[in-house]
Every structure is written in C-alpha cells, then in structure tokens.
Amino acid sequence: MAQVSVPTPSSPAEIRETVQSILASDGLPPIVQVGHPALRQSAARYDGQLTDEELAALIGLMRRVMHNAPGVGLAAPQLGIPLQIAVAEDGFDVEPDIAGLRERAPLDFLVLLNPSYIAIGAGRAAFYEGCLSLNGLQAVVSRPDRVHLTYTTPEGTAMQAEYSGWQARIVQHETDHLHGTLYVDKAELRSLTTNEEYGLRWMAPDISRARHELGFLPD
C-alpha cells in the first residue's frame, strides 16, 4: 500500500502572519469548509507562536465566531489557522427529555491548548453530531461516553479534567479537529442527513428510529 503524504503545519512565522491578518480584518472571518487543507493537517502544538495579546485576541475572536455560527465549539483550523487551540461553550436551552437522555449539561467557556484525551472505561454513546465546517449535514457518531482530557490554559497551566455525556462529545470533537480528523471520519455514514431531513424525521431524544429506518448500528 502506498504511503499517504500528510501535510505539515506552516512555519511559526507564517502562522503568526495568518493570525495577524485575520485579527486585522473587519468583521468576523469565515469558517472554512471541508476540503480546506487546514482541516486535514495535524496542527502545530501551541508553543508561544503568538504574543500574549495576539493569543487573547484570537481566543476572543474564536468565541465570537462560535457564538455567531451558532455552535458549541470551534478549533483554530476552522479559521484556517493550523494551531492546536480550541474553544468550547454550551449554554443552549435543551428540552429536558433530550438533555437527560444525552447527558447534556451546560459547559462553561473553555479554552484548550494542545489538548489530548483518552477514554475512561468501555462505555460509548451514539448520537447525531454536526460541524460548522460541514454546513448543513449531520451524522451519528459513536464516541466514548467518558474521557480524561489533558490540556494547557492560555496562561500556561497544565490541566487535567474528566468529562462525561455531551461535554465529553464536545471536547472530543474539538480535539479531533486539531489532529486533522472530522466527525464524518468516525460517523455511521448510512445515518448522514441534511439538517432539513434531520428536523423532519430524526430530531428525537435518541437515534432508535433513525437506526432502524436508515439501517446503521444493527442490534
């Protein structure tokens, strides 16, 4: 089998120039869409490529872009920046039955530098998932339902935390972005649906009907 060439991150100078250009632009930058090479790179570890002021400005901008989308997470590669930086926040109102079944609880604003995760136990949960870089589509992804996350704060503090339920799904999704992985790489492709079809047919607390009618994850 031929070896696949994996794109390498840009140089620190190029990364900083890209960030400076985005920060200097008027309005909010676009979220890059699938097919953009930044989404398929293993992003460079954050190692002081930006000044403290530039890093803070980028984090603030990413949070505004995430809210405007709207979404619950955004990774720097989604702005075309190959750096291991992601933000997450989930304050959406969710129907109690959905929140209970999906173990979806509010997630306070979180900034992740150089994150990585490992599963805790063998439990898994499968639900529909979307991405701001794949506009208009959703698919079911089975993920570990509990993870141990390690990351660094913008202040340089090494952190460890455990997440479960929907919060675990969010931090896995955003961490995957930083290593060139999109949710469709892990999805049950027979479940793939447009947002319109999801709203019409599959917007239920669980995936049982979609699994039966679309023919994925058989019992």
The CB density around residue 180, as the number of other CB atoms within 10 Å, is 18
Residue 68 reports pLDDT greater than 60: yes
Q: For residue 106, how many other CB atoms are within 10 A of its CB?
A: 13
DSSP 28: P
Interior angle at CA 42, CA 38 and CA 46, nearest 5: 95
The label of the residue with tokens 């291991």 reads 84
Nearest to 121 by CA among 159, 162, 158, 150: 162
pLDDT at 97: 81
The one catalytic residue among 174, 188, 197, 213: 174
Task: List, for residues 133-149, the tens digit of each pLDDT value.
Answer: 999 999 999 999 999 99
Give the three-state DSSP class for 17.
helix
Contact residues for 212 (Cβ-Cβ < 8 A; gap 6+): none
Q: In whole angstroms, give the CA distance from residue 32 to residue 77.
A: 8
Average predicted confidence (pLDDT) for the chain: 93
CA–CA distance, 170 with 179 (Å, rounded to integer) = 15
Q: Give per-residue pLDDT as tens, 77-131.
A: 999 999 999 999 998 888 888 888 888 899 999 999 999 999 999 999 999 999 9
| Long-range contacts, 51-55 (Cβ 8 Å, 24+) | 54/16, 54/19, 54/20, 54/23, 55/85, 55/154
- Looking at residue 96, its pLDDT comes to 85
User: Average of pLDDT values for 23-28?
Assistant: 94
Q: Which two tokens stand for residue 90?
A: 């989930």
Rg (CA), the chain: 18
Q: Is the pLDDT of residue 7 over 60?
A: no
Mean pLDDT, rounded, for 178-198: 98
Q: What is the pLDDT of residue 102?
A: 85
Q: 174 an active-site residue?
A: yes
DSSP 185-216: GTEEEEEEEEHHHIIIII-SSSSHHHHHHHT-
Within a 10 A sphere around the Cβ of 135, how many other Cβ atoms?
Answer: 12
Rounded percentage of the chain residues whose pLDDT exceeds 70: 96
CA gap 76, 118 in Å, rounded: 21
